[in-house]
Amino acid sequence: MEQVFEFTGNHPLLVTALMISFFVLIFSELRRKASGLVAVSPADAVGLINNDAQVIDLRSSESFMRGHIVNAKNIPFDEFAAKKDTLGKAKPVIAVCDAGITSNKAVAMLRQSGIESAYSLKGGMNAWGQAGLPVVSGKKTKSKGKKS
């Protein structure tokens, strides 16, 4: 214990930086938990989709047509605030965008409107594609991990 006090006395700037880093980490984790935003990984999203979750794609119509998750409904983010009330509250909702940032905003709006089982796809369609999960473009299904 004496060594800890000696180190603290000899290196006050290092100890101060360590304490500040510790409190910033704790504060950011507590804020994230308090906000109630839940981001799910692509694998967890597949489980939710298999249990009848709705997938809402927040990207533009052009991006949606280039490739989207099977049975996803396209509601561009700029129209989302007006159309979010058309979503049912009984089923879980997974919001999807390109990288997972816009979908967090949509999930916050859904939770404020009373939909507690709203989730964001962590990493968005980028993570979905990197996981090699299937996407639909037009009417055909293709898997990014396999060539057909």
- Least confident segment among 1-15, 36-50, 112-126, 128-142: 128-142
Q: Is pLDDT of 29 > 80?
A: no
Average pLDDT score over residue span 117-144: 77
Q: What does pTM read for this prediction?
A: 0.68
* 3-state SS class at 72: coil
Pick the more confident residue, 30 or 124.
124
Q: How far is it, in rounded angstroms, from Cα 63 to Cα 59?
A: 6
Residue pair 73/57 in contact (Cβ under 8 Å)? The answer is: yes
3-state secondary structure 23-63: HHHHHHHHHHHHHCCCEECHHHHHHHHHCCCEEEECCCHHH
pLDDT tens track for 74-83: 998 888 888 8
Query: For the CA atoms of 127, 128, 129, 131, what is the dihedral angle to 10 degrees?
Result: 80
Choices 3.40.250.10, 3.30.2010.30, 3.40.50.720, 2.20.28.160: CATH for 36-139: 3.40.250.10
User: How far is CA 114 from each of CA 45, 47, 49, 105, 119, rounded to the nearest angstrom?
Assistant: 21, 23, 20, 15, 13
Average pLDDT, the chain: 84
User: How far is CA 130 from each of CA 47, 68, 143, rounded to the nearest angstrom?
Assistant: 17, 13, 11
Per-residue confidence (pLDDT) for residue 11, from 0 to 100: 95
Alpha helices in the chain (DSSP H): 2-10, 12-35, 42-50, 61-66, 77-83, 102-112, 124-130
Place of tokens 């980490």: 25
Q: Would you state the structure tokens that stand for residue 70, as one six-digit string?
A: 């099977």
Domain ranges of the chain: 2-34, 36-139
Q: Would you state the structure tokens that stand for residue 43, as one six-digit string?
A: 């694998």
Catalytic positions, written as ranges = 97
Q: How confident is the model at residue 37 (pLDDT cuts 50, 70, 90)?
A: low
Per-residue confidence (pLDDT) for residue 35, from 0 to 100: 60
Q: Would you state the structure tokens that stand for residue 33, as one six-digit string?
A: 């938990």
